[in-house]
Amino acid sequence: MELLEAMNVIENQSWLEAPSETLAGAVSKVLTRPTGGPTKLDDFLNGVWFGHPLHPMLTDIPIGAWTVTLAMDGIETLTGRAERNTGADIALGAGILGAVASAMTGAAQWQYTIGRQRRLGLSHALLNVAALGLYSASLVYRLNGKRGAGKLTALIGYGFMAVGAYIGGDLAYGQRLGVTHIPEQEIPEDWQPTLADDELREGDLQRVTIADVPVLLVRQQGHIYALADTCAHLGGPLSEGTLGECSVTCPWHGSRFRLSDGAILNGPATFPQPIYETRVRDGKIEVRPSSPHPQV
């Protein structure tokens, strides 16, 4: 069976739906406020403070550490020199710590998914939890001097981790989980007319489309702001969100962006919203790219 076909089979496992919903609900209960919106812990685990999702970085720790264990176990088996192989056990332990941190950040990211992303995410998590369990068992075997059993359980764990990592890659690159959802298209460089000035009232959130790019227009305290309407987190429509003092909150998962520069005031978004310059000419609100362009 080709890998792509295998992914489709996993994605279409409808029995994963119920446990996915239950588990995501439990994670959200811990990481989001009862009144809605993420807690500080949620922002921390999602990497809002870092300006980048934490999960993909942390997954490299168990993958790298357990690959070292695999290589050193292989050398030990081939040479029969177990006494010099504490490095394999240390790498294994480091991988376990990395896997726990990776699981926590992954769960924080995954709670916001729906449908296929959620089912794939659960499969990814189950495989990695199985790998973590096998590596933990391997460490116990090693500490008790049962190196043969320790090496075998680690080898099986590596297989689980490898398949889990493959699915994780598909979640990021195929399903766009953890990447910015801001449209790739830019609006034209020159001023673009949008609404008539009197069509945008104080406190309104209005969506306009410029060269196929959805743009949010807001008038607050007499100033007209323009931001990309598609939320960087998972693509929610900011124009259907809530206007606060100098900020707009996404209706899907509560990311809050500053109107003046698109900066993140709270997550789970980890990428800022692009902003545009505005002016009023001949009774029309005009918009053009902000200069310099925000880093996204």
The correct pick among 194, 239, 255, 266 for binding ligand FES (CB under 6 A) is 255
Q: Is residue 110 near ligand FES by the rule CB under 6 A?
A: no
Q: Which is nearer to ligand FES, 95 or 178 (CB)?
A: 178
Q: Which stretch binds ligand FES (CB under 6 A): 20-28, 100-108, 143-151, 232-240?
A: 232-240
Q: Which is nearer to ligand FES, 47 or 268 (CB)?
A: 268
Cβ pair 200, 285 in contact under 8 A = yes
* 3-state secondary structure (DSSP) of residue 47: coil
Show the tokens assigned to 221: 């305290």
Q: Which is nearer to ligand FES, 193 or 214 (CB)?
A: 214
Q: Is residue 234 near ligand FES by the rule CB under 6 A?
A: yes
Q: Measure the CA–CA gap between 53 and 71, rounded to whole angstroms.
A: 29
Region 261-280 residues binding ligand FES, contact defined as CB under 6 A: 268-269
* 3-state secondary structure (DSSP) of residue 204: coil
The correct pick among 124, 142, 151, 253 for binding ligand FES (CB under 6 A) is 253
Q: Which stretch binds ligand FES (CB under 6 A): 136-144, 160-168, 192-200, 229-237?
A: 229-237
Q: Is residue 236 near ligand FES by the rule CB under 6 A?
A: yes
Q: Is residue 125 near ligand FES by the rule CB under 6 A?
A: no
Q: Which is nearer to ligand FES, 64 or 251 (CB)?
A: 251
Closest CA to 120 of 128, 59, 251: 128
Show the tokens assigned to 51: 């300006």
Q: Is residue 96 near ligand FES by the rule CB under 6 A?
A: no
Could you tell me the sign of the dihedral formed by the alpha carbons of 113, 115, 118, 120, in that order?
negative
291 exposure class (CB count in 10 Å sphere: 0-12, 13-18, 19+): exposed
Show the tokens assigned to 20: 């996915």
How far is it between the farthest Cα atoms of the chain?
Answer: 84
Q: Measure the CA–CA gap between 42 and 40, rounded to whole angstroms.
A: 5
Q: Which is nearer to ligand FES, 122 or 231 (CB)?
A: 231
Q: Measure the CA–CA gap between 203 and 196, rounded to whole angstroms.
A: 16
CA angle, 269 as apex, 212 and 225 as ends, to 5°?
A: 50
Q: Is residue 233 near ligand FES by the rule CB under 6 A?
A: yes
Q: Is residue 118 near ligand FES by the rule CB under 6 A?
A: no
Q: Which stretch binds ligand FES (CB under 6 A): 63-71, 115-123, 248-256, 278-286?
A: 248-256
Q: Which is nearer to ligand FES, 112 or 160 (CB)?
A: 112
CB of 232 to ligand FES, least distance (A): 7
Closest CA to 59 of 136, 150, 162: 162
Q: Which is nearer to ligand FES, 157 or 254 (CB)?
A: 254
The correct pick among 54, 165, 205, 231 for binding ligand FES (CB under 6 A) is 231
Q: Measure the CA–CA gap between 295 and 255, rounded to whole angstroms.
A: 18
Number of residues that bind ligand FES (CB under 6 A): 13
Q: Measure the CA–CA gap between 73 and 243, rounded to whole angstroms.
A: 58
CB of 234 to ligand FES, least distance (A): 4
Residues that bind ligand FES (CB under 6 A): 112, 231, 233-236, 250, 252-255, 268-269
